[in-house]
Amino acid sequence: MADIREARAAVVRRVLEGDGESSRVQRRGAFDDAELAEPLGTLMHKVALHSSRVTAKDIDALRATGMSEDQIFELVVCAALGQANRQYETAMAALDAVSNGSEHAPRDSR
Amino acid sequence: MRLAILDKGHTVGSKVLFAVIAAFSGQRVVDAVKLVMYRPDFYGTPMKKLVHEAMRGPSAWSVADRELMAAFISKLNECEFCIKAHGAVAERAYGEGSTVSAVLANLETASIAESLRATLRMLGKLTREHAVDADDMRAVLAAGASREQIADALAVGFGFETTNRLANAFEFFVPGPKAFEAGAKFLLARGYR
């Protein structure tokens, strides 16, 4: 069985807790798809739930507020990872509920 | 690419590597590579490790099946770059193109194992509705997929639910078929590390 537990924890920890150009509070808000000031909130929500509808205007609106490209890069990454993580955890919980397994104590060993 | 830093903001070392790749492959470096090579400590390096494990780590699913899952999720997320990139890898891994095109055209009528169909159906619901429940999992188990196979499919899902969003938000350039053929050869030979 492929084992992404450590790798998933590592990438999430890195983007949320490591150094960056954006603040940790902003990155956490993007990851959680939380209520954020506009125009950041619109872009982050689109990345999370309707990424194919993101436009150049959404990005330009953030640039116009003085946000750097590095900050935008970091926050979009956080929004994408956050939604993927929510979906993964929801699905694993559903799987555990019917198979008596646990991601933290897998029945098979490698 | 909507952010100039992702297109041209790499270190000199990375730019040299891009030139070498272009010289050997005859293709410009694709935006997926540019993304993971930009400030790789922030995202690219830890994410490549995760995606490699999901796509090439030990699993009862074949590499072809997992690449098909990636292409299928990408279709539902409307990510043209990723559909073509992973569709090409899956076709090459299966040794033919009809399975990939049939699944992407109509999952319910494609000639594939029921366990794979049920797994893709569950991944599709997770992608469209952002959630699945215990009944969805019971249906996949009843179709013959093991718990471990479902977990492996969800690991693929984690990788591509993330990657699709980034490709869409940053607007990855979609090159011609030769670039995807070259990429498929590379990804089958070397994986995602």
What's the ipTM? 0.96
Is residue A68 situated within a structural domain?
Answer: yes
pLDDT score for A99: 85
| Residues A51-109: tens digit of each pLDDT | 999 999 999 999 999 999 999 999 999 999 999 999 999 999 999 999 865 443 444 43
pLDDT score for A110: 34
A75 part of contact set with chain B, CB < 8 Å: no
- The 3-class SS string of B145-191 reads CCHHHHHHHHHHHHHHHHHHHHHHHHCCCCCCHHHHHHHHHHHHHHC
CB A108 to CB B148 under 8 A? yes
Three-state secondary-structure class, residue A104: coil
pLDDT score for A105: 40
Element containing residue B85 per DSSP (H, E): helix B80-94
Could you tell me which chain B residue has the CA closest to the CA of A62?
Answer: B3
Total number of domains in chain B: 1
| Residue from B52, B123, B147, B192 to probe the interface with A (highest A Cβ count within 10 Å) | B147
The answer to which of A29-43, B17-31, B82-96 has the lowest mean pLDDT is B17-31
What is d(CA B10, CA B18) in angstroms, rounded to the nearest whole number? Answer: 10
Is residue B47 situated within a structural domain?
Answer: no
Cβ atoms of residues B43 and B133 within 8 Å: no
| Residue from B122, B162, B171, B172 to probe the interface with A (highest A Cβ count within 10 Å) | B162
User: Which chain B residues are Cβ-neighbours of A51 within 8 angstroms?
Assistant: 77, 79, 164-165, 168-169
Is residue A109 situated within a structural domain?
Answer: no
Task: Please give the model's pTM, rounded to 2 decimal places.
Answer: 0.94
| Residues A19-47: tens digit of each pLDDT | 999 999 999 999 999 999 999 999 999 99
User: Any idea what the CATH number is for the domain that residue B92 is in?
Assistant: 1.20.1290.10
User: Which chain B residues are Cβ-neighbours of A63 within 8 angstroms?
Assistant: none
Which residue range is the domain that position B180 belongs to? 53-190
pLDDT band at B97 (very low <50, low <70, confident <90, very high): confident
Total number of domains in chain A: 1
Is residue A4 situated within a structural domain?
Answer: no
Is residue B11 situated within a structural domain?
Answer: no
Is residue B42 situated within a structural domain?
Answer: no
Which residue range is the domain that position A79 belongs to? 11-99
CA distances from B104 to B67, B98, B124 (A): 12, 10, 11
What is d(CA B44, CA B48) in angstroms, rounded to the nearest whole number? Answer: 6
A18 part of contact set with chain B, CB < 8 Å: yes
> Cα-Cα-Cα-Cα dihedral of A20, A23, A29, A31, to 10°?
10
